[in-house]
Amino acid sequence: MWSARRLPFDPDSLPPHVRPETIGLVFAGGALGSVARWGVGIALDSGGAWPWATFTVNLVGAFVLGALLETLTVAGTDTGWRRRVRLACGTGFLGAFTTYSAFAVDSMLLIRAGSPGVALGYTVATVCCGFVATAAGIVAAGAMARGRLR
């Protein structure tokens, strides 16, 4: 059995982003987020001209990330359980759930399919609605936090 003195390095001396706990939290959250995104893709089969599955996961993810980060910010500093929740849920789950690479591919496929107007509309709608969804998540979480703090 290794003792703390006999380890080749002190795990606590590693930068936070490469510690085994951090990597495990992001990995676990990412695995669940990927499965959730796959489920949305199955439920919202994008057989039409608009890639609804990608659009939906990106907007839902933007809203939830805004709400999550606002909630954690109001709760206190980014340490302990708050950091673990941010890493597992924000970086891991929502990082895998949202998909800006598929957004880029969907936009290019729309252009190649002869629908540049739809591609432009999809691009603008995703970016603008994503901004609004993030702001709405922040406002909603802030309002809920203020209600609890009274």
Q: Residue 88 domain-assigned?
A: yes
More confident residue, 48 or 36: 36
pLDDT at 77 > cutoff 80: yes
Q: Residue 122 domain-assigned?
A: yes
Q: How far is CA 47 from CA 17, 24, 53, 92, in A?
A: 39, 36, 10, 28
More confident residue, 21 or 90: 90
92-144 confidence digits (pLDDT tens): 999 999 998 999 999 999 999 999 999 999 999 999 999 999 999 999 999 99
Q: Residue 140 domain-assigned?
A: yes
CA 28 to chain centre: 13
pLDDT at 8: 66
Q: Residue 4 domain-assigned?
A: no
Q: Residue 5 domain-assigned?
A: no
Q: How far is CA 36 from CA 12, 30, 95, 121, 125, in A?
A: 33, 10, 12, 26, 23
Q: Residue 6 domain-assigned?
A: no
Q: Give how many domains the chain has, as a whole number.
A: 1
According to the annotation, is 98 in a ligand binding site?
yes
Q: If you average pLDDT over residues 54-65, what whole number do you get?
A: 97
**Nearest CA among 89, 122, 88 for reference residue 106:** 122
Domain interval for residue 22: 16-43+50-149
Q: Residue 86 domain-assigned?
A: yes
Residue type, 3: S
